[in-house]
Amino acid sequence: MLIRTIRHCAVEVMSWLNVQYYRLMGVSIGKKCFISVHAHVDIRRGKITIGNNVSISSGSYILGHVGFRRAPEGQETKLEDNVTVFVNAVVLPGVTVGKNSIVGAGSVVTADVPPNVIVMGNPARVIAKVESKTN
């Protein structure tokens, strides 16, 4: 039990450090976000905005550009409030994931996701609607 508590505290600290690093590198990140140590947020080019209460799991990629091409002017990758991105999902550049949405494990999000839905697959498709969270 003690080891589990220590591990939980260590994971929280590492996530906090990860969030602070991405903020320092220019990513706009809201409050109460969790970004796994093994998640990747593209900080090289393009604009990325992450809302409040967002959780990004291990192995996920949030991209701001593709390859060595410049991102088109005004293009922004956006995760709105209360979004959850599960293991090994990829959110491509210029995509907006709507509030309270869930991106399933291994999904590749190629187009905007509406609020309050679950998307899964490659390319990601809406598979269900979820109840709106009130935070």
C-alpha span between 134 and 127 (Å, rounded): 22
Whether residue 65 lies in the annotated active site: yes
* Amino acid in position 98: G
DSSP string, 36-70: -TT-EE--SSSEEEE-TT-EE-TT-EE-S--TTSP
Coarse DSSP helix, strand, coil percentages of the chain, rounded to the nearest 5 percent: 15, 30, 55
Among the options 8, 38, 40, 65, which is catalytic? 65
Q: Any idea which residues carry the catalytic annotation? A: 65
